[in-house]
Amino acid sequence: MCLGIPGKVIDIWEESGTRMSTVDFGGTTKTVCLAYLPDMEIGEYTIVHAGFALTRLDEASANETLQMFADLGFLDEELAGSEGQSSRETA
């Protein structure tokens, strides 16, 4: 769970005063909280840890790291979890 996975912000909305987003990790989407990176915009790339965006990343770096994590078999484990699979549902 410790690895940060890069992804692309494809949707942003407000939920109880907190900016939330949908992030696409190479085909798998997750709800991601933007509380720690509130100025993220749609189309930007970020490194996400446990459902929180923590730093910006450029597109090329994000795609490279994502491909490598997929090759290493990390993505299934890091993105596991029956909750939060679809957007606009989490707290």
Partner 1 sequence: MKYLDEFRDPVAANSLVEAIRRSATRPWTIMEVCGGQTHSIIRNGIDQLLDGAVEFIHGPGCPVCVTPLEMIDRALEIASRDDVIFCSFGDMLRVPGSKQDLFSVRARGGDVRIVYSPLDATRVAAENPDKQVVFFGVGFETTAPANAMSVLHAKRLGLTNFSLLVSHVLVPPAMTAILSAPTNRVQGFLAAGHVCTVMGTGEYGPLVEKFNVPIVVTGFEPLDLLEGVRQLVELMEAGRAELRNAYPRAVTDIGNTVAQQALADVFVVTDRQWRGIGMIPQSGWTLSPQYAEFDAEINFGVGNLEVQESAECRAGEVLQGLLKPNQCPAFGTTCTPRTPLGATMVSSEGACAAYYQFRRLESSANV
Give the shortest CB-42-to-partner 1 separation in angstroms.
20
23 is a site residue for partner 1 (CB under 8 A): no
83 is a site residue for partner 1 (CB under 8 A): yes
Give the shortest CB-44-to-partner 1 separation in angstroms.
13
| Selection from 23, 13, 18 nearest residue 66 by Cα | 23
Element (H, E) at 59: helix 59-72
Q: Per-residue x/- mask for partner 1, residues 32 to 51, rule CB under 8 A?
A: xx-xxxx--------x-xxx
Contacts of 89 (CB under 8 A, 6+ apart): 31
Phi, psi values for residue 14, rounded to 5°: -100, 140
Give the shortest CB-10-to-partner 1 separation in angstroms.
17
